[in-house]
Every structure is written in C-alpha cells, then in structure tokens.
Amino acid sequence: MADETPPMEQDRSLFEAPPMGEQERMVEAILFASAEPVTVAELAARMPHGSDPAEALVHLRKRYEGRGVRVQKVGDAWAIRTAPDLGFLMQKETMETRKLSRAAIETLAIVAYHQPVTRAEIEEIRGVSVSRGTVDQLLELEWIRFGRRRMTPGRPVTFVVTQGFLDHFGLESARDLPGLKELRAAGLLDNRPPPGAGLEGEDDDEAGDAGQSELFED
Amino acid sequence: MADETPPMEQDRSLFEAPPMGEQERMVEAILFASAEPVTVAELAARMPHGSDPAEALVHLRKRYEGRGVRVQKVGDAWAIRTAPDLGFLMQKETMETRKLSRAAIETLAIVAYHQPVTRAEIEEIRGVSVSRGTVDQLLELEWIRFGRRRMTPGRPVTFVVTQGFLDHFGLESARDLPGLKELRAAGLLDNRPPPGAGLEGEDDDEAGDAGQSELFED
Amino acid sequence: MTDDDFQQDALSVSERLAAEALIVDVDGYEGPLDLLLTLARTQKVDLRKVSVLGLAEQYLAFVDKARHLRLELAADYLVMAAWLAFLKSRLLLPPDPSEDGPSGEELAAHLAFQLERLQAMRDVAARLMGRDQLGRDFFVRGIPEDVARTRRVSYTATLMDLMQAYARIRTRDEFRPFVMDRDAVMTLEQALDRMRGLIGYAGDWTELASYIPEGWEIDPARRRSATAATFAATLQLAKEGQIDMRQGETFAPIQIRKRPHGR
C-alpha cells in the first residue's frame, strides 16, 4: 500500500492507516461538525491516507442504533440526525429568532435605566411617542412588567424590568447596568464633551421614585 | 424502531418518568441538536415530567468518553463538542478568528483570574491604562460581561467572564483555569494595596480601588 | 594598526546601534512597569529574588541613556524614574524613625510583588491562549436541528444592543442645544424668521398680538415668551426700517405695519 503513495503525501501516510476505532472517531467528528451531509469521497479526502470511511461508517452506524441520534444516509451523503421518535423534544429548536426593533430596544433600555418609569416619561426621554405595540411586545416577552402606580394626577402605571430580562442579558441586577461614564470608557459612546445636565434633572421632580438615576451622575 | 410511539408520550408522562436509558437518549438528542450549551434546567423543561437530566448526563458523558465527540460541561450548561485531538480534520470548519492584541489577551486573563475585577484594578495590574477598544472588543466577543458593582466609593462596575468564554476555551468553570491554584497559593491573586496607600488605616483586607496607579501619578 | 582602528570603529558603531535599539524600543514597552519587568528579567534571577535596588539603578541608567540620546520619554517614564530615585535613597539611607510613611523595604517589596504579578498574568494568558479553542481545535454542531413543526418567533437582543440604544438616546440629548430643552421658550431668531416671512402682508396697521404663532397663545409661559420674542423682533425690524410701530397710550395694544417704501 505504501508503495503506491504519491511522494507529496504527508509523513503520516507513509505509515499505515489509523486503526478502525480511530477512523470511526474521525467520521463521527466530521459528521458532527459539518454544516452539510458528507459523502464517503469527502470523508476519504479529509481522513489520513489509506482510511476506509465506508467501513468506519458501518461501525458508527451500528454504534448509534437505538441511541438518541442516528447516522443517516441523505442522498449519497451521510449526516447525524435526531432519532425520529424524539422529534417532539425539538420543538424548542424551531423558534425563529429576530432582532428587536429599534423602538423596542430603546424603550427597553429606558425602562431598565430609569425604572420605575411611566409611558409619558419614556416618551419624553425618547422624544417620540411610544406605540402600544412596542410596550405590548416587551410585556409579552416578559422583559418588562407593570410596577406600582405613580402617586401623581392620573395615577399612571409604571414599568419595571423583570427577572427574565436580567436572565436574558446576563445581569445580576439592573443596578449593574453600566452608567454613561462606563459606557464611554468601554467605547460605546463617542468621546464627547461631558453632559452639563443629563436627564436626571428632568426626572428628579419625584424624589420618591428617583429610582436608579443616582447611578448615572457622572 | 419506535416510530409509532409519539401519541403515547403524553400519557406516559402523566404516570412516571421514562426509564433512565430513555432519558439518556433524550438528553443526547437535545444536546446534539443545539449548537449552544444547554442548562440542566432547560433540559428538564423539555423532557417529560419527573425526568432527571443531571443523572442522565452522568451516563451520557461516560458513554462518549474517548469518542470522536464528547459531552462537555460549560458553566452550568452542557454541550457536545468534537474531541480536540481531531481538530486537524476540520480545516473546513475552522473560523477565521480575529487576532487579539496583547493588551486584549492580558486584560482577558486578568478578568478571568481576578474576577470580579474593576477597570482600575486591571490598570493597576498591567501598569497602563486600558484602552476603550480593548474592553469593547472583549465585550463584543461576549467573553466578558458586566458583573456586580463594587460596594466601594464610586461604586465601579466590575467585569466577569461569560459562559461563552468557558465554552471557547473548553473550561468547565472558571475554577478550572490553568494555574489558578498556584497563583492563589503564591498570593498573586490577592488585592494587595501599596504600602501607605491610605493614611486612614492599614486594614489590608478592605483594599480600596485607589491602587498603585498613585505610584505613577505623583 | 589599521586593522585595529577599523575594529575599534566597528565596535563603537555596533555599540551605538545597540544603545539606540534599546532606546527606540521604548515605544515597544507598555509603560514603565513593562519596561521594569523586562529589565528585571535581565538579572536572570527568580523574580521573587529580584534586587529592587539593582533594578532601580538599571532603570535610572536606562532613562539617563535616553536623555543622553535626546530621545523624548513619555511623562510616566519620568515619573517612575523620580519615584525609583526616591525609593533608592530610602533603601540606601538608614531609616529615619521620625519619618512617616512606609519604609523603603515595604515599597521595594510591593514593587517586586507587582512585577511578579504582572509576569504571572502574562504566563497564564499565554497558557490560556495555548488551550484548545472552540472553532479552531474543537467544534460545535454543524447542523443544528430545526424540525419546522411549531414555529414560534422569539425576539432577541444582546446587552450590547441595549447599551448602544441607551447611549444613542443619551448622546442625542447631550447634543440638543440647551435652549431647545425648554419647549416653552421662543427665541428672538425664531420670531425674527417668522416676522420677516409675515411682514410683507402687513400693509395696514395690525396688532402685534396677532403675530403670536398658533399654539403659543394659550399656555401662559409660552405666550409670555412668544410675546417677548415677537416684540423684540419687531423692534429689530423697525430699526432696520422695514416697519412702523405705534402705541395709542401706555399699555394700549402695539400695532405695526409694513413701511411703504421699506426694503
């Protein structure tokens, strides 16, 4: 076998093909990591010279019999797939993820930084009105919830962020959100002249509900 | 083989949890299907009522020992990853990773070994200020995130490493960082304030963030 | 003889090059601590046994050489030099019991600790980067399963998105001219712009109050501001000779009209 080896092959191929157990491991790893089903020819091209991926596949296929996943032929290629009887477990995997809209993410950011905050205050900070859909979406995602009513005329409801929000963003508490100064230090803000008077001033009229604003004094 | 079982699934879960062999298959299927690590809680939520994914994981992990892929712990989650010794087969899958600067690598190591750590502490250890881009890059890679605020004057935010960091470097937890024990034993992870840092007191444990930067500022 | 001369020259040239190389390398150091660590390594001893006094002398000699070659050193290098000179004197002189503050030994021990710690972090950083890495040595599932049975949409956002959104809102605010921060204020410029546009239609005497823009006449604060601004604007236009103004008596309505030969 070694006689026929082209002179340019790797050193490894000058010796002999790896043992079948090793070849089986290789096929397993390649099938697992490949983004598409892999043909026997492709397997052979990627494995050390002299390997026999077809035989390794037979062993591997047998090894996965009755397991939670199985080695399956797709056209003339091979892939690892979930056992059909376990398909019901995959329902969560079918979720389609989409980015939040800019309006939603800005509203969420304001709730997180200024909670408890009323809709009117959100609108004041964003400078545009907040559509019902945006708030509904954040409520539905369970990232914000209703807080206490504000003891001001009209007794408006306030919004606060939820534990689910903290979990999603990997925060231990909303107080750990970085302040302006830290955002700037992390390069998330352009280096602009320091703010003379930030939003705190506008919101401070209700001392009891000042919330987190004290965190952002630069 | 069990192609016709799905309708039975629901009924069965009303009575008892599936046998452990079945649970192992389920965990196997879920972990195979997901590119991201899956927590035990997520596994439990997706498996029939009464399942014990933690125990199933012990069996599954053992089953994959020495195989082409392995069951790996990542923080409090689990994932299947190819065996590192087979990386040479995977040139096709290799992603072009952004080359990290020396400053970024050192900053990452300091966050990992000293976490939770403030920016001032990072600067104290490196002896130079940390540029905006460095922290920004590590945040963007999702290798570090903001941790709890330090309850010291100024309440600075801290940085900690993420699950993504553990996953990337194949670590079960931050406790498994190479050389961590030796560093700790040598006292090199202590927060040791410079002598005479504060005139107020010599209580070494309550190290402020003033740090050695004063050395360079006089 | 000539050979000797030649050799001497060659030697001094290479010496000079070596010295310059050393200095030019200052740019390659990440601050004085990095430079000190490099110098400490040339002592070829365990970092825990490094001679801080010797290190201080090495550093001072280095800075001296840089000065000699008229190379500019960043301020923090010079600050460190001053501090090390101070440390050196503390280490050499017998301790003065009347003096406050840490002893030279304490300061030296802390510097040694810093150097050892920095070196340790560099070592573990190298070990960390030497580990098998995801996407390079080991790999995730290439075909994450997606059995399209129940399709649910889940919205996602990262912490970066959140912080960038907040930063965006906040910077927008920082940049708003401060007069705009109070929407109950009309500026002279606004009023002037408005009046210039309207004055062409004022052939007859009209009351100044009728020029208050819509939406400004109800809220008292807004009305006050708009009146003041509009009045100031008419004074300006009168001064420019574009309008005439009159007032029947004190507190009577002010009236204006376009000057017939104006413009």
Give C-chain residues touching A34 at CB under 8 angstroms: 142-143
Residue pair C43/C50 in contact (Cβ under 8 Å)? The answer is yes
Contact between B216 and C79 using a beta-carbon 8 Å cutoff: yes
**What pLDDT was estimated at residue A203?**
35
Smallest CA–CA distance, residue B50 to chain A, in Å, is 15
Contact between A171 and B146 using a beta-carbon 8 Å cutoff: yes
Contact between B126 and C30 using a beta-carbon 8 Å cutoff: yes
CB contacts under 8 A, C 88-127 vs B, are 101-103, 106-107, 109-110, 113-114, 116-118, 120-125, 127
Nearest C-alpha in C relative to A79: C143
B41-98 pLDDT tens trace: 989 988 998 999 999 999 999 999 999 999 999 998 999 999 999 988 887 666 666 7
Query: At residue A142, does pLDDT exceed 80?
Result: yes
SS3 A98: strand
Contacts with C74 (C-beta within 8 Å, 6 or more apart), sequence order: C26
**What pLDDT was estimated at residue B118?**
93
Sequence ranges of the domains in chain B: 7-83, 98-185
- Identical topology for domains A7-83 and A98-185: yes
A196-213 pLDDT tens trace: 433 333 333 333 333 444
**What pLDDT was estimated at residue B211?**
33
**What pLDDT was estimated at residue B27?**
96
**What pLDDT was estimated at residue A75?**
82
In single-letter form, the type of residue at position C247 comes to Q
The token pair that represents B14 in the structure block = 């009303």
**What pLDDT was estimated at residue B15?**
61
Contact between B126 and C139 using a beta-carbon 8 Å cutoff: no
* Subunits close to A (at least 3 CB pairs below 8 A): B, C
Residue pair B29/A85 in contact (Cβ under 8 Å)? The answer is no
Which of B33, B145, B148 lies closest to A93 in CB terms?
B33
Q: Tell me whether B212 touches chain C (CB under 8 Å).
A: yes
**What pLDDT was estimated at residue C15?**
61
CB contacts under 8 A, B 37-76 vs C, are none
**What pLDDT was estimated at residue C27?**
59
- Cα separation, A56 vs A72, in Å, equals 14
**What pLDDT was estimated at residue C192?**
83
**What pLDDT was estimated at residue A188?**
62
Contact between B195 and C107 using a beta-carbon 8 Å cutoff: yes
CATH annotation of A98-185: 1.10.10.10
Residue pair A89/B26 in contact (Cβ under 8 Å)? The answer is yes
With vertex at residue C117, the alpha carbon angle to CA C114 and CA C119, rounded to the nearest 5 degrees, is 110
Contact between A91 and C154 using a beta-carbon 8 Å cutoff: no
Q: Tell me whether C147 touches chain A (CB under 8 Å).
A: yes
Q: Which CATH number fits domain B7-83: 3.20.20.210, 1.10.10.10, 3.30.70.990, 3.30.465.10?
A: 1.10.10.10
**What pLDDT was estimated at residue A7?**
45
Residue pair A185/B132 in contact (Cβ under 8 Å)? The answer is yes
Contact between A68 and B139 using a beta-carbon 8 Å cutoff: no
Contact between B132 and A46 using a beta-carbon 8 Å cutoff: no
Residue pair C33/C44 in contact (Cβ under 8 Å)? The answer is no
Q: Which of A71, A94, A114 to mutate to test the interface with C (most CBs of C within 10 A)?
A: A94
The token pair that represents C93 in the structure block = 């002189």
Smallest CA–CA distance, residue C225 to chain A, in Å, is 21
Residue pair A119/A135 in contact (Cβ under 8 Å)? The answer is yes
Question: Structure pTM?
Answer: 0.60
Per-residue pLDDT of chain C (263 residues; tens, 9 = 90+): 444 444 445 556 666 555 555 544 565 678 888 888 888 888 777 777 788 888 898 899 888 887 777 677 778 888 888 899 988 888 888 777 777 778 888 888 889 999 999 999 999 999 999 998 888 888 888 877 654 445 556 677 788 788 888 888 877 655 444 444 456 778 888 888 888 777 777 678 888 888 888 777 777 888 888 888 888 888 888 888 888 888 888 888 888 888 876 44
Q: Tell me whether B126 touches chain C (CB under 8 Å).
A: yes
Q: Which of A69, A184, A188, A191 to mutate to test the interface with B (most CBs of B within 10 A)?
A: A69
Pick the closest to residue B32 from C137, C144, A93 (CA basis).
C144
The burial class, CB within 10 Å (0-12 / 13-18 / 19+), for C114 is buried
Which of C155, C163, C175 lies closest to A141 in CB terms?
C155
SS3 A158: strand
Residue pair A50/A12 in contact (Cβ under 8 Å)? The answer is no
- Cα separation, B122 vs B104, in Å, equals 11
B87-143 pLDDT tens trace: 888 876 666 667 888 899 999 999 999 999 999 999 999 998 888 889 988 998 899
Contact between B28 and A67 using a beta-carbon 8 Å cutoff: yes
With vertex at residue B174, the alpha carbon angle to CA B107 and CA B51, rounded to the nearest 5 degrees, is 145
A17-58 pLDDT tens trace: 899 999 999 999 999 998 888 999 999 999 998 999 999 999
**What pLDDT was estimated at residue A19?**
92
- Cα separation, B53 vs B42, in Å, equals 9
